Amino acid sequence: MGWMPKREQIAERLLLIVAPAATLAAADLSVKATQSIPPWYVHQRTNAWVAFNLADVCFLVGNLMLMASLMAVTIRNRDRLIPPRQWERALRQRLGR
């Protein structure tokens, strides 16, 4: 990537995430639109059925850990963040912060 202004770095990283995700989503939707699912593959459940297993617990704990670490890194490096734009400052003043 080399040296770039922060906004260009953010845009490039966003593109690296969004482009593959959009490609995979489009491929998934096209397969679902063209391929039928055999009836034996679908498991019928009642509307009140709730599934919560170890994978769900790991997913939730992982999300909480990720959010906590992202908050800590953001707070630690807040001096490196892009300063607020004029409309953001105006909104902050209007909200009383």
Task: Tell me the pLDDT tens digit for each residue of 13-69.
Answer: 888 999 999 999 999 889 888 988 777 777 776 666 677 788 888 999 999 999 999
**pLDDT for the residue 37:** 79
Residue 28 lies in a domain: yes
24 occurs within a structural domain: yes
Query: What is the rounded distance in angstroms from the CA atom of residue 17 to the CA atom of residue 74?
Result: 20
Q: Which two tokens stand for residue 78?
A: 């807040």
Number of domains observed in the structure of the chain:
1
Given a cut of 70, is residue 3 above it in pLDDT? no
Domain with 72, as residue range(s), is: 6-36+47-95
- Supply the pLDDT for residue 49: 62
User: Which CA distances in Å does 43 have to 32, 54, 85, 95?
Assistant: 17, 20, 52, 50
Residue ranges of alpha helices (H) inside the chain are 6-34, 54-76, 86-95
Global model pTM greater than 0.85: no
Residue at 42 is within a domain: no
- Looking at per-residue pLDDT, the higher value among 24 and 7 belongs to 24
